Amino acid sequence: MSLVEEVRRLKEERDAVLLAHNYQLGEVQDVADFVGDSLYLSRQAARTDARVIVFAGVRFMAETAKILSPEKVVLLPDLGAGCSLADAITAEQLRAWKAAHPGAVVVSYVNTSAEVKAESDYCCTSSNAVSIVESLPRDQEILFLPDMFLGDYVRRKTGRTNMHLWVGDCFVHTRMRPETVARRRAEHPGAELVAHPECGCSTEVLPQVDRVLSTDGMLRYAETTRAPEVLIATEVGILHRMRKLNQSTRFIPLSEAAICPFMKKIDLGKVRDSLRDMQHRIDLAPDVIQGARRALERMIAA
Ligand code: 13P
Ligand code: SF4
């Protein structure tokens, strides 16, 4: 029996749904029940009827699934699948930041630990960060964390001056600098440029970027664009689906080195092992689940 068949059989036996992020290896995406960005996958995790959720992504995504569906068994095929951005702030640091800004509302990017979410008023993803901030009264002070590039993008889009940013970044996206854009633009004159808001170039070269989008936003764009060439400024895993969706356009990574080693910890063999051995279970303290739930529910409703 092939590995793909084994995974399909085990999914059925275990009554499991396999959720895969857009940065996962193509072999994992191809056998997943749902593939998408953080917001889409969170919504799927909240609404699934399956008994088991296998999360092919990183730890904060599996924790999010557990918070939204605490009665389900949530499995992460490799416990080493972390996120450098989520590690940029601890719950203790957030408590100290809040104490320095009493009355401020905390908006946390979903790339955070469950404990940080439990200290937050709202969670958001790259898909809805602007609309969540816009929904808050203009005179409301905001603490936005942990990604400074996404935060700066939201601040510019909303024109808010009362939004404080935590100085954190994703080590994969931060390396995509204005110099990278200039070099790739010279190599591919006329190519459109589409960037994820976590990119290190997003602040300085924003006027040159044709679109700033979440990973699902990029896929929707990829499906319909008629541009002959498009430079994609995000993790390279997304190219797998883009190239399947549209064979007339050439999708070129802004940086071939933009590989998230955490996302690549999971392969099809580990998905099979996870389903076979029912490992590794994500368990969270009930008070953390209760504390984080409200902020996440606001995120999936927005
Ligand atoms: P998306 O929600 O846009 O998929 O982003 C998640 C992520 O981790 C980007 O690095
Ligand atoms: Fe985290 Fe960056 Fe990897 Fe996304 S690409 S999961 S933000 S380390």
pLDDT for 184 beyond 80: yes
The three-state secondary structure class of 267 is coil
What is 86-169's CATH superfamily?
A: NadA-like (3.40.50.10800)
pLDDT tens-place string over residues 120-157? 999 999 999 999 999 999 999 999 999 999 999 999 99
Residue 151 CB burial class (10 angstroms; 0-12, 13-18, ≥19): buried
34-36 and 52-56 beta bridge pairing: unpaired
What mean pLDDT comes out for the span 213-224?
A: 96
Residue 114 has pLDDT above 80, yes or no: yes
Mean confidence (pLDDT) of the chain: 96
- Could you give the angle at the alpha carbon of 16 between the alpha carbons of 15 and 20, nearest 5°? 165
Q: How far apart are the C-alpha atoms of 66 and 106, rounded to whole Å?
A: 22
Residue 16 has pLDDT above 90, yes or no: yes
Q: What is the mean pLDDT of residues 159-183?
A: 93
With bands split at pLDDT 50, 70 and 90, how would you rate the model's confidence at 202? low
Whether the predicted pLDDT of 207 surpasses 80: no
| Structural contact between residues 236 and 253, judged by C-beta atoms closer than 8 angstroms | yes
Residue ranges of the chain assigned to CATH 3.40.50.10800: 3-82+263-283, 86-169, 176-253
Residue 82's pLDDT is: 98
CB contact set of 243 (below 8 Å; sequence gap of 6+): 251
215 Cβ below 6 A of ligand 1: yes
For a mutational test of ligand 1's pocket, the pick from 113, 149, 198, i.e. the residue with the most ligand atoms closer than 8 A to its C-beta, is 198
pLDDT in the model for residue 206? 74
Average pLDDT over residues 217-239: 96
Euclidean distance between CA atoms 52 and 74, whole angstroms:
6
Ligand 2 atom 2: residue of nearest CA: 170
* Secondary structure in 3-state letters for 79-114: CCCCCCCHHHCCHHHHHHHHHHCCCCEEEEECCCCH
CA 165 to centroid of ligand 1, rounded, Å:
18
The fold of 176-253 is: Rossmann fold (3.40.50)
CATH of 3-82+263-283, one of 3.30.70.260, 3.40.50.10800, 1.10.3720.10, 3.30.560.10: 3.40.50.10800
- Name the pLDDT band for 96 (thresholds 50, 70, 90): very high
Burial class (CB in 10 A: 0-12, 13-18, 19+), 279: middle
Q: Which residues line ligand 2 (CB under 6 A)?
A: 58, 83-85, 111, 170, 172-173, 235, 260, 262-263
The tokens of 272 are what?
A: 């099979």
* Tokens matching residue 179: 């110099």
- Give the tens place of pLDDT for each residue, 18-76: 999 999 999 999 999 999 999 999 999 999 999 999 999 999 999 999 999 999 999 99
